[in-house]
Amino acid sequence: MATAQGKNVYYVPHGSKWPAVGTIGLFTTMIGAANWLNEHSWGKPMFYVGVAVLLYMMWGWFGEVIRESIKGMYNHQVDTSFRMGMMWFIFSEIMFFAAFFGALFYARMLSVPWLGGEGDGALTNFYLWQDYAPAWPTNGPSAIGGAFETIPAWGIPLLNTLILLTSGVTITIAHHALRAGHRKQLLVFLGLTVVLGAIFLYYQAHEYIEAYQHMNLTLGSGVYGSTFFMLTGFHGLHVTLGTIMLAVIWFRCLAGHFDKDHHFGFEAVAWYWHFVDVVWLGLFMFVYVL
Amino acid sequence: MATHAADAHHDDHDHKPQGFWDRWVFTTNHKDIGTLYLVFAFIMFCIGGAMSGVIRAELAQPGLQFVQPYFFNQMTTVHALVMIFGGVMPAFVGLANWMVPLMIGAPDMALPRMNNWSFWIMPFAFTVLLLTLFLPGGAPAGGWTLYPPLSLQGGSSVAFAIFAIHMMGISSIMGAINIIATILNMRAPGMDLLRMPLFVWTWLITAFLLIAVMPVLAGAVTMLLTDKFFGTSFFNAAGGGDPVMFQHIFWFFGHPEVYIMILPAFGIVSEIIPTFSRKPLFGYQAMVYATASIAFLSFIVWAHHMFTVGMPLGGELFFMYATMMIAVPTGVKVFNWVSTMWKGSMTFETPMLWAIAFVILFTIGGFSGLMLAMVPADFQYHDTYFVVAHFHYVLVTGALFSIIAAVYFWWPKWTGKMYSEKWGKFHFWWSTFFVNVLFFPQHFLGLAGMPRRIPDYNVAFADWNLVSSIGAFGMLASPIIMFAVLWHSKKHGAPATTQVWEGAHGLEWTVPSPAPHHTFTEPPVIRASMLAHGDVTH
Amino acid sequence: MAMAAGTLPDRWQLNMHPGVTETARNAYHIHMLMLWICVVIGIIVFGAMAYAMFKFRKSKGAVAAQFSHNTVAELIWTIIPIVILIVCAWPATKILVHTADTSNPELTIKVTGYQWKWRYEYVDYQGKATGINFMSKLDGDSDRTRQLKSGLDPHAVKVGEEQTYLLNVDKPLVLPTNAKVRFVITADDVIHAWWVPALGWKVDAIPGIINDAWTLIEQPGTYRGQCAELCGQDHGFMPIVVEAKPKAEFEQWLAGQQAANAAQNAPAAAQAPVAAPQG
Ligand code: HEA
Ligand code: HEA
Ligand code: CUA
Ligand SMILES: [Cu+2]
């Protein structure tokens, strides 16, 4: 269609039902989640219905975009819009993690020492928490959640670091393969990346189970537990999403959707994966090692 | 699609989708989405206004006449959330939707489908938020700043309010991404960055602020959620956290947020004043750099909202100095507006009146802001009506006035109809009179020692409160008058010309009025004469 | 006259009162300094605008000039505000450093905010624990009057001639004049803020955290304030009253309280900590 006007016309879709579907999905999810938290029995099913609608929306929306893309309706400028969209989305994700890293640094560098009487906290310690000595990890002066152990950095976390770093390499190899037109190499290395993501998740789950069952380390373990699980948890969620995205891209590679110069979908997922990787390095440093 | 594009180019025939659903619900057209945003914002302004009516009615006299204190607190909290997230922000996004593509010669927004989604999330987010008013335990009542532990005492509203904020955040972030992509990627050839109209510039920077801080707000409220429902201790000292930590994270969002609500206003005023002064904007480049400096500074001043939380001395000093510095780039803007008027050939149509009132009244709000920045004095001002007066000057006579100015300014372009100057001016003088009656006395109340967020007060405060409430009830007529003026224009307005205003320059004034459904499907060629501010690169 | 200024707000009051402590006077001075600077800048800026609007209007035949920048002017109005701001920052910094110094108090008071009342503990006076500790909440008259549609007239709530509606408590905090008093401030449930305008500062009372501040009241009198941080439904109804007495009278009062205490329950006094660290 767009070809009639030549490649110079920026493709503007005319109407789409997917955003409306997405809105209903999001609304249902949120209302469901809120009711679930407020212990209404229908909250949980409603939440899942909402998520299902959102998945349906993604399927349909991305499907439409893919079809349009294959038909050649997108010129270079449209491609640039997609790229910018993805880059700024990742930036927003970075800022989301920044809030939680900020909380971690604030707790470690300011609130815990102050509660323990350092710096400006002398009086706080004297009047309220006299027996509390600052340390990290901590569950605070009231030892909320009871004594806990922490996960040593040099076991599974190190392994997971290596896994993610490797996956960063494999996806780059896959990208080169795509650009060079080596289809088989592409599928193998992209497939490897998916597998590495899944292994990472497996270990992460294992670690959580350990923490909850044997180390008494939970979300409720004071500020250490809070920052630990929220940071690693949101990261884990992103790895899950990333792995699913990688898997989808793998199938799209199999279906031959991408060619040498036209594979924004692949690149977007690759960027996302690198972002997840870098966040993990931050986590490994500041949550596990230091 | 190609046929559409071709047709739109040859004649003004619009090819608007016909059915309601196709036109408004499934739309991907930046103009229709812009309209949706503006209508939505208008409705939200009315709802938020009604709540401020409850507040001012209760505060008109000492003693409790109408509502219980807890309900009063719900009104304050929801009034603010509705006005900020439902009124000002969507109104600006609506203006960006309408005008940015027209101003830079783009066929539409960069990501039209996502544009639709950004909008349609908003009404649902506010459904969730406003629904809480009808829940047992009522709406959130801990102030729009949601400070824990108080905000966590709310009943079932907590989860709903937090998820509503998440939805608003998702919407804002997608909207901002779209605007950035549009501005960076969709400019017509020749529309260099430093040739863009100032409204586009301010929105580019605002969008950046939005993407940078909305996720931080999302993080902050997520921590509230887990503190309440999942036993985390972020904001609980007994567990090693700190209630003050929330305030730091919140204001890291919150301060840039207030500039999100003023930078587009600066942009609007920088379009209007040159138009009616018939003279290029003074100091275009300085304006761009000043905007960027304000945005940069906005990230390092957040703790000026927290001077009384017991920060170490060094922190207080740092945040005081950084905050004071914002007066410098903001001053540059004010001086440039005045210089634009200087030696112009001015006329005072309705948009110009609102813009001039903006410059004066925003500056007054800025002055009180600067006073608040002085820590020793803020120990007295903080959490009093002096602060309430400050932020209503910058928000109402700042952000809101600029929105109204923009609507009058671009209305003929949108609808092809002129409005009645007489009634537009009446709307202006009415609102400007009452808004000052409403908010100026609040400075006095604050200085006399009246705390904010109280439903009742000592009798010594009664007189100024009554004056303020009278102003409020006058101001509440403002949206009604505006609605009447615009309705009348839509029905009976004289047809608008393409240029609309004698002094108007810029791409948006080269397309017919009303602007056809599709514009610039093929990029126009930009000539310096089309630019509002002439060629600034010489 | 100065004493009256500290007690209650006036009707139609326009400006901040200078208060009864050095801190309050300092705040007042900074406030007035900033106010005048803003007024002057305002007159210049708005004056220029007004002049332009009258002089350069089309209806008077003004023809628009086409200049669009002037580097010298722009530099001037960048630099002059910077200079003005430095002039403001200087005294503010000095005052702030002075205000932050809570060392060497004669009396230490621990203030705890509750929903919706205050607890005052006289931790130590001249190095000795006192064991005095009581709650202070809204007075009965105000409390009855403030109920929704109570039909009672807020103007009728009085202490002597003063209309004290919502600004009176059952038991005020009694302090000595001309003595450095340190406050250590915290809360039990949510955040509150302790504020008496005549003393010149407010400080947040945060659960689990101690903030400190100090005052040195120069004139005897009754000074009234309110909780200044939203703390729930009765946030508007937890006033603060400070009764400042000359030292001798204060000591008398203190002795009286201790005697009453001792008579009532013997074991209470021993526990209070001594020799708090200097914050
Ligand atoms: C659009 C919104 C907006 C804008 C633009 C501003 C602008 C400013 N604000 Fe305001 N502010 C709010 C919205 C806004 N604020 C809100 C909503 C709150 C309360 C939140 C809450 O608690 O609920 C608040 C609260 C607030 C506080 C906290 C008060 C307290 O709670 O104790 C402070 C303290 O520093 C402050 C300062 C400033 C300053 C210095 C500016 C500056 O940007 C102003 C700069 C402008 C000028 C100074 C005027 C023009 C300049 C000249 C003519 C040049 C020459 C001038 C001089 C050299 C003096 N603001
Ligand atoms: C943009 C934001 C905004 C706006 C517009 C307003 C508008 C008003 N506000 Fe609000 N207010 C806040 C933001 C805003 N406020 C915030 C952030 C707080 C702090 C809350 C807290 O403490 O947590 C607050 C708190 C607050 C208080 C203090 C409450 C307390 O501390 O207990 C009071 C009391 O008088 C008040 C009154 C009013 C009144 C009478 C108006 C009137 O101006 C209302 C009249 C105006 C209208 C009805 C709308 C006009 C609109 C148009 C004409 C539409 C044009 C638009 C289009 C065409 C798209 N507000
Ligand atoms: Cu206690 Cu407000
Ligand atoms: Cu701020």
User: What pLDDT does residue B532 have?
Assistant: 65
Average pLDDT over residues B56-81: 96
Please give the pLDDT value at position B137.
Answer: 86
Of A4, A5, A22, the CB nearest to B117: A22
Pocket lining: C236 vs ligand 3, CB cutoff 6 Å: no
More confident residue, A15 or B349: B349
Q: Whose CA is nearest to atom 32 of ligand 1?
A: B382
Mutate which of B10, B117, B525 to disrupt the A interface (most A C-beta within 10 Å)? B117
Q: What's the B61 CA to ligand 3 centre distance in angstroms?
A: 21
Q: Ligand 2 pocket: which residues have CB below 6 Å? A: B 38, 41-42, 45-46, 49, 52, 55-56, 76-77, 79-80, 83-84, 87-88, 91, 143-145, 388, 392, 395-396, 399-400, 403-404, 407, 438, 452-453, 472, 475-476, 478-479, 482
**Which of these is catalytic: B144, B302, B354, B464?**
B144
**Does ligand 3 have an atom closer than 6 angstroms to the CB of C225?**
no
Q: Which residue has the higher pLDDT, B60 or C161?
A: B60
pLDDT given at position A7: 57
For C152-241, where are the alpha helices, taking DSSP H only? none
Q: Does B278 touch chain A (CB under 8 A)?
A: no
Residue C212: strand pairing partners: C184
Question: How sure is the predictor about B522, in pLDDT bands with cuts at 50, 70 and 90?
Answer: confident
Tell me: pLDDT of B8 over 50.
no
Among C209, C273, C277, select the one facing A122 at the smallest CB separation: C277
Phi-psi sector, C183: left (phi>0), alpha (psi -120 to 50), beta: beta
Closest-CA distance, B29 to chain A, in angstroms, reads: 8
pLDDT at C225: 96
Residue B144 appears among annotated catalytic residues: yes
Q: Is the pLDDT of residue C2 over 80?
A: no
pLDDT in tens, B393-430: 999 999 999 999 999 999 999 999 999 999 999 999 99
Are the beta carbons of C47 and B335 closer than 8 angstroms?
no
Strands C211-215 and C181-187: antiparallel
User: CB-hemisphere CA count at 13 Å for B282?
Assistant: 23
Residues B450-477 have pLDDT tens digits of: 999 999 999 999 999 999 999 999 999 9
Return the higher-pLDDT residue of C68 and C202: C202
| B509 classed as catalytic | no
Question: Mean pLDDT, to the nearest integer, of B507-519?
Answer: 92
Quote the pLDDT of residue B19. 85
Instruction: Looking at the complex, report in whole angstroms how far the Cα of residue B174 sits from the nearest Cα belonging to chain C.
Output: 33
- Least CB-CB distance to A30: which of B17, B27, B167? B167
Is the separation of the CB atoms in A25 and A56 below 8 Å? yes
What is the pLDDT confidence band of residue C263, given thresholds at 50, 70 and 90? confident
Per-residue model confidence (pLDDT) at position C178: 94
Q: List the structure tokens of C132.
A: 């005095």
Residue A232 forms contact with B (CB below 8 Å): no
Q: Do C210 and A120 touch (CB under 8 A)?
A: no
ipTM, interface predicted TM-score of the complex: 0.95
Of A195-209, A250-264, C99-113, C253-267, the poorest mean pLDDT is in C253-267
Mean of pLDDT over chain B: 93
- Give C277's contacts in chain A (Cβ within 8 Å): 122-123, 126
> DSSP assignment, residue B286?
H
Does residue B146 carry a pLDDT above 90?
A: yes
Tokens found for residue B23: 């036109």
Give the separation between CA B260 and CA B262, rounded to whole angstroms: 6
Contact C229 CB / ligand 3 (< 6 Å): yes
Mean pLDDT across B93-122: 96
**Do C120 and C111 form a contact (C-beta atoms < 8 A)?**
yes
| Burial (Cβ within 10 Å: 0-12, 13-18, ≥19) of residue B121 | buried
Contact B223 A103 (CB under 8 A): yes
Tokens of B497: 């010309």
Which residue's CA is the closest to the ligand 3 atom numbered 1? C192
At C277, the pLDDT band (50, 70, 90 cuts) reads: low
CB contact under 8 A, C53 and B384: no
**Active site annotation includes B502:** no
CA distance C34 to A165: 56
Q: What is the mean pLDDT of residues B361-365?
A: 98
CA distance B450 to B380: 11
Question: Which residues from B are below 8 Å from A122, CB to CB?
Answer: none
**Chain A residue closest to C184 (CA)?**
A123
- Report pLDDT for B31: 95
Cα–Cα distances in Å, from B212 out to B207, B257, B267? 9, 10, 20
Give the span between the Cα atoms of B331 and B326, in whole angstroms: 8
Residue B208 has pLDDT above 80, yes or no: yes
Residue nearest to atom 58 of ligand 2 (CA): B42
Confidence check: pLDDT of C80 > 50: yes
Confidence grade of residue B528 (pLDDT, cut at 50, 70, 90): confident
Q: From first to last of the 290 residues of chain A, give the pLDDT tens digit.
A: 334 444 578 999 988 999 999 999 999 999 999 999 998 999 999 999 999 999 999 999 999 999 999 888 999 999 999 999 999 999 999 999 999 999 999 999 999 999 998 888 888 889 999 889 889 999 999 999 999 999 998 989 999 999 999 999 999 999 999 999 999 999 999 999 999 999 999 999 999 999 999 999 999 999 999 999 999 999 999 999 999 999 999 999 999 899 888 899 999 999 999 999 999 999 999 999 98
CA of B453, nearest ligand number: 2
Which residues on chain B are in Cβ contact (under 8 Å) with C165? 62, 458-459
Crossing angle for the helix pair C22-55 and C71-99, nearest 10 degrees? 160
Please give the backbone phi and psi of residue A54, each rounded to the nearest 5 degrees, phi first. -60, -40
Q: In the prediction, which pLDDT does B535 show?
A: 56
The CA distance from A263 to A272, in Å, is 15
Q: Kindly report which listed range (A19-23, B19-23, B222-226) carries the lowest average pLDDT score.
A: B19-23
Judged against a pLDDT cut of 70, whether residue C268 lies above it is answered with no
Beta bridge partners of C224: C241
Catalytic residue among B30, B31, B56, B79: B79
C111 Cβ inside 6 Å of ligand 3:
no
Give the Cα-Cα-Cα angle C233, C191, B461 (nearest 5 degrees): 55
C-beta separation of A10 from A78 below 8 A: yes
Region C250-257 average pLDDT: 94
Nearest ligand, CA of residue B396? Answer: 2
Report residue C269's pLDDT band, with 50, 70 and 90 as the boundaries.
very low
B7: confidence class by pLDDT, cuts 50, 70, 90: very low
**Confidence (pLDDT) at A173:** 96
Which residue from B130, B116, B132, B94 is spatially nearest to B26, judged by alpha carbons?
Answer: B116
Which of A110, A118, A125, A127 is the best substitution to test chain C (most C C-beta atoms within 10 A)? Answer: A127
Q: Which residues pair with C134 in a beta bridge?
A: C120
Length of chain B: 538
| B514 cis-preceded (ω within 30 degrees of 0) | yes
CB contact under 8 A, A126 and C276: yes
* Closest Cβ opposite residue A34 in set B5, B163, B518: B163
Q: How far is the C-alpha of C29 from the C-alpha of A176, rounded, in Å?
A: 69
Question: DSSP letters of B384-417?
Answer: BHHHHHHHHHHIIIIIIHHHHHHHHHHHHHHHSB
Q: What is the mean pLDDT of residues B193-220?
A: 96
Of A185-189, B166-170, B531-535, C256-260, the one with minimum mean pLDDT is B531-535
Query: Which member of C38, C68, C167 has the closest CB to residue B370?
Result: C38
B1 in contact with C at a CB cutoff of 8 Å?
no
Query: What residues in B contact C43, CB-CB < 8 Å?
Result: none
C-alpha to C-alpha distance for B315 and C240, rounded to whole angstroms: 28
Name the residue in chain B with its Cα closest to that of A121.
B312
Q: What is the mean pLDDT of chain C?
A: 90
Average pLDDT on B374-390 reads 97
- β-bridge partners, B117: none
Say yes or no for a CB contact (<8 Å) between C233 and B73: yes
